[in-house]
Chain A
Amino acid sequence: MNRLAYLFEGLTLKRVLLVSILCVWAAAATVWFFANTYLDLLVSSLCVGYTSMVLFTAATNLRQRRLPRWAVQVLSIVVGSFLGTLLAGIVKGRDLAGMFTERFYGVLITMGLGIGFGAMAVWVYVFRERELRHEAELARARAERVQLEKNVLQAQLALMQAQVEPHFLFNTLANVQHLVETDPPSASRMLESLIQYLRAALPRMREDATTVGREADMAKAFLDIHRMRMGSRLDYVLAVPEALRCRPFPPMMLISLVENAIKHGVDPCCEAGTITITASEGDGRLRFSVADTGQGISCKKGTGVGLTNIRERLKALYGSGARLVIEENVPHGVVATIEVDDLVAADPVAPSKARCCA
């Protein structure tokens, strides 16, 4: 029995009430055309109405694939009208056999009316259903947009916090402190790099876009500081063609990749490592990549907030026109590449305030 219960889903009190009202009204509307009493017509209309309603509900819910759903629904109204008319005959205590002979004409009229009013009710029902579905879709789209906005906001917040990591700042200052006493020229160089880095990093949170060249310069200052701090363990190569330096690029993404490369790529293994930053163009897209020669990513190690943050922001800025691709380096290490299609690069979703470095 339970297996069939699903057929009657949606058979709510509200629906029963609406059908009842329709039947009362239909009987009243037709009483002028017939010799029958109003009560007689009401019984017929209620019998036809309820039977059709039950069958229509079942037809709507029925899971089958042989016939399209609308065909089953139409069929349910026709059969419902016929059975309803028979039911009305039984209720009124009429001779059933007579219904197919001398009163067949009357039966046909009742059925026809049932089908007519049934079709009307169904039309209203289908219309309502479509409207509801439309509304649900709208609500979902709105929820998705709100979620996206929230993600972007969170990404921005994380970005601001990551801007200048205190750990990085204090460790660098400790190095400077020591160098001032032991090797003043180096201290001065390190301070210069730190200033260059801070100058590039601090105003970034107010901007939506900067340029390839400025991001590369900032990465260079950052790498210079780390190279001095880590001694011989870190080396880097910067391959950014002059022609690409003026191209707009979202801020603070490259530096995140460089930070990752140092943290996960070079630091853990105590041997020397090389970080290569490359900007290139081809196949209608701009590529900015950071490659390290570290241990590579273990399949079970976390992806970190940084990469998720970059993905969220790329999506918010360029939709599907940009992506972050992570690949294995040869023979070991990781290459992280941000690709921005030329079409969207010129006109990101969010307003860009990129200034050219020229």
Chain B
Amino acid sequence: MGTPTAVIADDEPLLRAQLRTRLAKLWPELAVVHEMENGRDIEQVIATYDPRLFFLDIHMPGVNGLEAARAIGKRAHVVFVTAFDQYAVEAFEQGAVDYVLKPFNEDRLANTVDRLRERLTGAPAAMDDLVERLAGRLAPRVAEHLRWIKASVGQSVRLIPVEEILFFQSDEKYTRVVTADSEVLIRKPIKELLDELDPDKFWQVHRATIVNVDAIAAVRRGLKDQAEIALKGHRETLLVSRNFTHLFKQM
């Protein structure tokens, strides 16, 4: 079977060095053939070194440990390294996956090494389910909606979080972006904004107007049966055109 080989991935150089020295003491015949700063280039590493074992830190910038484990699949054994992840530790225990906690505890690491020696004789276990579940938990998938609006203010580009925005209103070739204490103009038309904003939080109420639902203080009936929106913390009222009155029909 030859010498067992391993790759260590951790974004902190000192922690990589620490794991390497500990392993050298506990498992002298293990050869650490490569070190990585994050989970990128897994394919290349496997092609070059073909390690039997990966030590993966879960939190790494760029490609994290879980994503790396997914890329590795059943081509190598994986041991997760983590500083503090309640969820992850629980999941590892249930899924009988090996993990190491930072800061390292000598006895625990020795136990893990013993188990790994045994496990290396068999084929790597599939852990897709576990990894998927954890990945969902650690980095909940957020819908790809617009979260910031970039607007030029004087010399600089200001970033306005969408939660702050009361409404968007088209004004000939620009779009007015109105917050409680400021107003800026952007070039992005209402139509494009509508495609990118979270439809649960921003409603189109008029051909020219998108309103932040959270900013609505009241909806009143105005002239000619047309509804009017009063806003929180702003004097302006917004007209609701007939096509959109259904949004405010009483429940």
Contacts and interface: CB of A to CB of B under 8 A. Distances in A.
Contact of A179 (B11, B14, B62): B14
The secondary-structure label for the interface of chain A is helix
B148 A270 contact: no
A268 B61 contact: yes
Given A171-B12, A177-B18, A178-B17, A328 B157 contact: yes
B153 to A, nearest CB: 8
A327 B151 CA distance: 9
Interface string A164-189: 00110111011111110110000000
B83 interface: yes
Interface string A301-343: 1110001100100000000100101111000001000000000
B102 A328 contact: no
B146 A299 contact: yes
Interface residues of A, number: 43
Interface stretch (B42-50, B65-73, B158-166, B200-208): B158-166
Interface string B1-27: 000000000011111011001000000
Interface residues of B, number: 44
B56 to A, nearest CB: 15
Contact of B15 (A171, A297, A320): A171
A142 to B, nearest CB: 14
Contacts of A302: 142, 147
B38 A270 contact: yes
Nearest to A3: B225
A303 B62 contact: no
B90 interface: no
Interface string A249-280: 00000000000000000011110000000000
Interface of A: 6, 63, 65, 140, 166-167, 169-171, 173-179, 181-182, 228-231, 267-270, 297-303, 307-308, 311, 320, 323, 325-328, 334
Given A270-B37, A300-B196, 13 more contacts: A63-B224, A174-B102, A174-B103, A174-B104, A178-B14, A178-B18, A178-B21, A267-B11, A300-B146, A302-B142, A311-B164, A325-B158, A326-B148
